[in-house]
A and B are shown apart, each in its own frame.
Chain A
Amino acid sequence: MGSEAPLLEVRDLTIALPAGRGGWTRIVEGVSFSIGAGEILGLVGESGSGKSMTALALMGLIDAPGARITGSARYRGQELIGLDRRRMRALRGAEIAMIFQDPMTAMTPVHTIGWQIDEQIRAHRRLSRAGARARTVQLLSEMGVPDPERAAGRYPHQLSGGLRQRAMIAMALSCDPSLLIADEPTTALDVTVQAQILDLLRRLRRDHGSAVLLITHDMGVVAETCDRTMVLYAGTVAERGPTAALFARPAHPYTAGLLDSIPPLRGARPARLPQIAGAPPNPAERPDGCPFQPRCAFGHDACGVRPALVACGAPGDGQAVACVLPSEGRPLPARLA
């Protein structure tokens, strides 16, 4: 990707919700990242780390009353934050599409799958009913839905979870978006179906040239799918970089902790998987310094100041970490990949 301008460039995205008495609770704080055309970026973090809010902010879908979104998100040079509704609507579904975690509740129960996909196509393209339906059937068949014509006539509850998610992806892809935001697309599915859906997402890049922002809390999914990875903790970027580098040499103790909690495939089976002690701080009570410090085994005085993102790892590969350890000359040990 290198020199050419990225498809989406997010700078200092901050989302704050009013917390009463004129105060604000910052859900997401100063998140910056970029996605190149056709790239798959993984956004990892625990529940409440701000992953979904980040995605919804990009789509202009945060409708919490009084929410304040600052920073910048440029899609092909166009500023998304504060974009007027009409233009945002033209982008949504056409340029930037989104798929959601639970395909059961994410599709309107009273309309057929086909009707809902037709609806999106006809919202953005001048196509006849029959033309839209033909495209719908073709998309469903591309997504590996057996007997797509009949499936188009079925209601969401009549399909299995895997088929519903395929239909959801077909719908998201119906207008050939350049960017697909997938919010935990596999969490509600069983493992075999999960693998098929991830395979499908990887194929999108080849067949449709779409970039994907994959939101997940599953490091396994990231390792399998993403070119680059960004780890969010308590609304801030803890670490980001190429997936391979991040997995081989995690620079943030939080990333390392996440990786440690994946059951190893080789070697002796641990009696208990290591876990990160404690729980992430409530957004209203985040510490002034490093938000991870209360749970961190390496916490010391220097952590009282919020660390900036600094480059680490191999020069030029873009790995960056919000931790003082590498600059103090005592980085975390590399893991055996």
Chain B
Amino acid sequence: MISAFARRLGQTVTVLFGISVLVFLVFFATPGSDPTARIAGRNASPETMAAVRHEYGFDRPLPVQYVRMMGRLFVTRDLASFVDHGELVVPEVIDAAPVTLSLVAGAAVIWIVASVAMGTVAAALRGTLVDRGLMMLGLVGISMPVFWLGEVANLVTQSRYHQTWLFSWVPGLGYAPLTQGPVAWFTHLAIPWCVLAVLFIGIYGRVLRADLVSAYGEDFMRTARAKGLSETRVLLRHGLRTSLITFVSLFGLDFAQLVGGGALLTEVVFGLQGVGRLTYQGLINLDLPLIMATVMYSAVFVVLANAVVDLVYLLLDPRVRDGL
């Protein structure tokens, strides 16, 4: 157990190191990305450029620059933006993280519940109209771009039908932290949650149905039916339980990439100041410290999520426990 934990920790550090080096190098190899010009402003004199270059340490060798940046990012945490004159990036990320986390976690709950229900019902009624209808609905959900769906949702809930009893509870766009009370937090996020979840409900529902239908061909499902169990029990206790593996691995990846900034479009449409938006700003301005901070943050989540997925595997499948 301890050795597994240590191995996981070692992997995490390696992955983070690799990603940081890569991002750092890409940044310095990108034409037109010279940070000196950005900091010094337009038409700066060569003297100013030289002064800025020296002040920010851009005249030092790359490895030294890298180590200094990592030190300021992880140790002293006073890494400042190159663009927003002195804005500290670590607090920026720390402020944005709860917004994204709230958004993604809520959406994840919705999409897990909805897609398990959808996939299971479709598999139980496979071949019927209900099955086809649900799968069609899933396909529609997958095909709708999230920014379009979000705009439509905004149109409906914020303006067109805002006065009706149905949507009068929807507050204006933006985020309300949990410290302002759970109700405000919930009402601000309810619509973004649903919009973000739609795509994943479609994908997960279809994947789960496919896995369940192929599970019906397994010998152990026949045994379970031969035991005289009810169809529901066969499906849930034998089929669903063994079909969750793909579901869980998909979930780990999607959840991590969303928390790491992948929910950008949803964040923009609903005016949420999350990590996705922050990364986006960093990228347009080629603001290396900000990019570095958000990428590191996102990498931590991907590695963490994979660790959790591995743990869930252990719970789901005893064969993994025995290292088979």
Question: Chain A interface (Cβ within 8 Å of chain B)?
Answer: 59, 61, 63, 65, 85, 89-94, 97-98, 100, 102, 105-112, 119-120, 123-124, 155, 157-158, 168, 171
Contact = CB atoms under 8 A, between A and B. Distances in A.
B318 interface: yes
Nearest to A108: B220
B129 interface: no
28 contacts: A61-B225, A65-B127, A85-B231, A91-B228, A92-B226, A92-B227, A92-B228, A93-B226, A97-B227, A98-B223, A100-B222, A100-B223, A100-B226, A105-B220, A106-B222, A106-B223, A107-B223, A108-B241, A109-B318, A110-B241, A111-B238, A111-B241, A120-B228, A123-B228, A123-B233, A155-B318, A157-B319, A168-B223
Nearest to A122: B229
Contact of B220 (A89, A93, A107): A107
Nearest to A97: B226
B226 A98 contact: yes
B55 interface: no
Nearest to B229: A123
Nearest to B242: A110
B226 A61 contact: yes
B315 to A, nearest CB: 10
Contact of A123 (B227, B317, B324): B227
Contacts, number: 81
B242 A108 contact: yes
A157 B322 contact: yes
B220 A157 contact: no
Nearest to B324: A157
B95 interface: no
Given A61-B225, A92-B226, A100-B222, 7 more contacts: A61-B222, A61-B226, A92-B225, A106-B220, A109-B317, A120-B227, A120-B228
Contacts of B220: 105-109
B218 to A, nearest CB: 7
A93 B2 CA distance: 45
Contacts of A61: 222, 225-226
B219 A102 contact: yes
Contacts of B319: 109, 155, 157
Nearest to A117: B227
A109 B242 contact: yes
B197 to A, nearest CB: 28
B211 to A, nearest CB: 14
Interface string B201-229: 00000000000000010111011111111
A108 B236 CA distance: 12
Nearest to B225: A61
A94 B228 contact: yes
B49 to A, nearest CB: 65
Nearest to A124: B228
Contacts of B223: 98, 100, 106-108, 168
Interface residues of B, number: 26
Interface in B164-201: none
Nearest to A86: B230
A112 B237 CA distance: 13
B219 to A, nearest CB: 4
Interface in B18-47: none
Interface of B: 127, 216, 218-220, 222-231, 233, 237-238, 241-242, 316-319, 322, 324
Contacts of B226: 59, 61, 92-93, 97-98, 100
Contacts of B127: 65
A85 B229 CA distance: 11
Contacts of A157: 318-319, 322, 324
A171 B226 CA distance: 11
**3 A-B pairs with least C-beta separation:** A93-B228, A92-B228, A105-B219
A102 B218 CA distance: 11
A119 B229 contact: yes
B141 to A, nearest CB: 28
A110 B317 contact: yes
Nearest to A63: B216
Contacts of A65: 127
A100 B219 contact: yes
A237 B230 CA distance: 34
Interface-central residue, B218, B229, B231, by most chain A CB under 10 Å? B229
Contacts of B237: 111, 119
Contacts of B242: 108-110
Contacts of B233: 123
A89 B226 CA distance: 8
A61 B228 CA distance: 11
B219 A110 contact: no
Nearest to A112: B318
A90 B241 contact: no
A247 B227 CA distance: 35
Contacts of B228: 89-94, 120, 123-124
Contacts of B317: 109-110
A206 B13 CA distance: 65
A91 B218 CA distance: 22
Given A105-B220, A157-B324, A110 B318 contact: yes
B76 to A, nearest CB: 49
Contacts of A112: 318
Nearest to B215: A108
Contacts of B316: 110
A109 B229 CA distance: 17
Contacts of B241: 108, 110-111
A82 B206 CA distance: 33
A171 B219 CA distance: 15
A105 B227 contact: no
A108 B318 contact: no
Contacts of A123: 227-229, 233
Contacts of B227: 92-93, 97, 119-120, 123, 171
A92 B226 CA distance: 6
Contacts of A105: 218-220
